[in-house]
Structure 1
């Protein structure tokens, strides 16, 4: 049994704590917030084995350049001389090729399928009621180009063993009878699922507290000390925390934590926005993704959660209303009967997705310190991949065989 300190209380940190506690380890989670404001709370709640294509793709470079000049576009990189952004951009350009996409598909699929199975298992536990629904997700498209791309992805997904089907507009109507549709078709990602992230996080916190995991909130890490290739203690101002094993699971704050260790964790915070709209009569049966608009809509807690955009910049508290308007304005183009109002600023949630340059998460031991594990960089799939990452972290620390090959996720990969 090891004494383990986890830095970061998002879904990855809490999932790691869950599986470590189950394996008999003594676990402490240290978080700079109060465990109610992480990126894991406000996302679309989608579990997506369908997302086996990393962010770094050849088409994303040219598309990203076009989007740079549109204030309402789904993707934006704020130009700056930020060294982290420059390093990230160079690595992104290096990895945005067909070979990388091909090599990434199998490890991402295996990670996603493991995570989905773990969420299914977790949902059967009496302490965990988080509204897991396995109806898949519908990727709607309006243009022939997007339709061709989605059909190609569906074919590749089926080769990977994923259940995907290309649908005609009539097929879509049968699955979404209460929605007026203006689309050319959709791909039904039958392999996908969705859940309520708010309920999952609350259940996880409650369980961990009851199981004796020490959850320490509102403690910012200010210093980390090391001796002879080992982390020896973590400090929050004058308060110290010691353990046998240390885990960096700080989401978009991980590079700053790594800097205290002299470890480079290359990722950028990708700001995303979401807002909720209550519904008297449920309109959507199955979560929707809007292909061209890059918007997600999920039935959740008696209404719909709308989310989208990826805004790469330094961590900040600004709300870019143009980005939110971009989400709002895209919806009626696909669903003429759905016309969400632009929400008040106080009703808009935003969070920072920790986005690695090659689109793959970091999961595994650091080469620099023998008792340091890094678990971050999941981008838009932190919730989806959280359970699997937690189990893999436990296996790494326990020294047992990993459930899947994690070589592709090595923190020190080139």
Structure 2
């Protein structure tokens, strides 16, 4: 079997390491941090086969322009002469059409369902208690317009074989009687699930260490040597690593790694925020998505995790408190009994979702280097698609037939 080097220790990198180890490969993971600071930890923990619509849609194009003028809006693009952003924007506009949306639905659904099944299997393994709960997710809406859009989405989901149901406000109340609602209704994504990302990542790290997988932290890749169409040495400052196969699973840092390789990995970091609130008397048992506000709320670890926003910008450490206030202020409009306070800046988590311009992940071998596989660009669905991506990476490296058709995800697509 192959000696495999994975660059990146987020959910995609660690899932790849897990399935590659299971397939008999010798695996080393390099991470620029300490494995605890990736986007895989602070997300909403949602497993979402319901999300078969890519970010690049005609509606997102027009809505996004309006949101750019609202400092508390769910979506923002910081104007910049950054060529990566300009290239990304041009590709986004090119792909934001009904045909692309239609073509993307099946591959995204197949990848999501594969990933969900793998999480179900993993949760049954010894040492993998990460609070997987299969109660679905409720997409609440307050306006007739949003209700019509969500009903159409549910109908499309059912065509794809997904379990979705449109509920009235009264039907929503019966599911969670103690949760006060001010909504017109919701779509119950019964096909969805949720888990604790912190517990999942901790379990994966513990398993991999115990299995002899080499997890090397604080190893930022600074140079990559290539020759004869293959990746050779990978250098982390003055330390060199070699392998038969190299995997780039570096999330929003992937363009920088691509630059070292002389290839263009077109994606932008989409900053999102989350914060946790303890809840002594939990009324919410099913995760919620707020349709108009684009906010996610997940019961997690004895409390609620609130998350949202998408800021497309260069990687940075700024916390935009107006965006956090936008999350906080939206919640009581749907749930009058839930009134989270604006958290202190030190209690706000932020991470960068690696967002491809067409809304589809990059999964597959590079055309330029025969021993290079790319696994990144999952946007807001990194956790949801992580297990499935890891399994596909293992199949690619092992030379076995992939579990699903990955043609839509090839890294060199136009």
Normalising by the residue count of structure 1, what TM-score does the alignment of the two structures yield?
1.00
Match of 1:47? Answer: 47
* SS class of match (2:64): helix
Match of 1:195? Answer: 195
Distance across 2 between alignment mates of 1:256 and 1:121: 34
Match of 1:159? Answer: 159
Distance across 2 between alignment mates of 1:57 and 1:132: 31
Alignment of 1:365-384 (within 5 A): 365-384=365-384
CA shift digits 1:142-180 (9 cap, x unpaired): 000000000000000000000000000000001121111
- How far residue 374 of structure 1 moved from its aligned partner, in angstroms, is 0.1
- How far residue 300 of structure 1 moved from its aligned partner, in angstroms, is 0.2
Match of 1:294? Answer: 294
- How far residue 58 of structure 1 moved from its aligned partner, in angstroms, is 0.4
Q: Does 1:389 align with 2:389?
A: yes
Distance across 2 between alignment mates of 1:398 and 1:285: 41
- How far residue 126 of structure 1 moved from its aligned partner, in angstroms, is 1.1
Distance across 2 between alignment mates of 1:82 and 1:244: 35
- How far residue 61 of structure 1 moved from its aligned partner, in angstroms, is 0.7
Distance across 1 between alignment mates of 2:11 and 2:238: 27
- After TM superposition, which residue ranges in structure 1, 4 or more long, deviate above 2 angstroms? none
Distance across 2 between alignment mates of 1:283 and 1:318: 33
* SS class of match (2:114): helix
Normalising by the residue count of structure 2, what TM-score does the alignment of the two structures yield?
1.00
- How far residue 96 of structure 1 moved from its aligned partner, in angstroms, is 0.1
Match of 1:61? Answer: 61
Match of 1:324? Answer: 324
Match of 2:245? Answer: 245
Distance across 2 between alignment mates of 1:323 and 1:389: 31
Match of 1:220? Answer: 220
Match of 1:344? Answer: 344
Distance across 2 between alignment mates of 1:114 and 1:170: 33
* SS class of match (2:55): coil
Alignment of 1:100-179 (within 5 A): 100-179=100-179
Distance across 1 between alignment mates of 2:394 and 2:238: 29
Aligned residues: 414
- How far residue 65 of structure 1 moved from its aligned partner, in angstroms, is 0.4
- How far residue 403 of structure 1 moved from its aligned partner, in angstroms, is 0.2
Q: Does 1:10 align with 2:10?
A: yes
Distance across 1 between alignment mates of 2:139 and 2:238: 50
Distance across 2 between alignment mates of 1:34 and 1:159: 43
Structure 2: unaligned runs, 5 residues or longer: none
Structure 1: unaligned runs, 5 residues or longer: none
Match of 2:270? Answer: 270
Distance across 2 between alignment mates of 1:191 and 1:256: 36
CA shift digits 1:342-380 (9 cap, x unpaired): 000000000000000000000000000000000000000
- How far residue 14 of structure 1 moved from its aligned partner, in angstroms, is 0.1
* SS class of match (1:69): coil
Q: Does 1:354 align with 2:369?
A: no
Distance across 1 between alignment mates of 2:349 and 2:64: 24
- How far residue 184 of structure 1 moved from its aligned partner, in angstroms, is 0.3
Question: Over aligned residues, Cα RMSD in angstroms?
Answer: 0.3
Distance across 1 between alignment mates of 2:43 and 2:238: 35
* SS class of match (1:373): strand
- How far residue 237 of structure 1 moved from its aligned partner, in angstroms, is 1.2
* SS class of match (2:408): helix
CA shift digits 1:249-271 (9 cap, x unpaired): 00000000000000100000000
Distance across 1 between alignment mates of 2:123 and 2:236: 35
- How far residue 90 of structure 1 moved from its aligned partner, in angstroms, is 0.1
- How far residue 127 of structure 1 moved from its aligned partner, in angstroms, is 1.3
Match of 2:234? Answer: 234
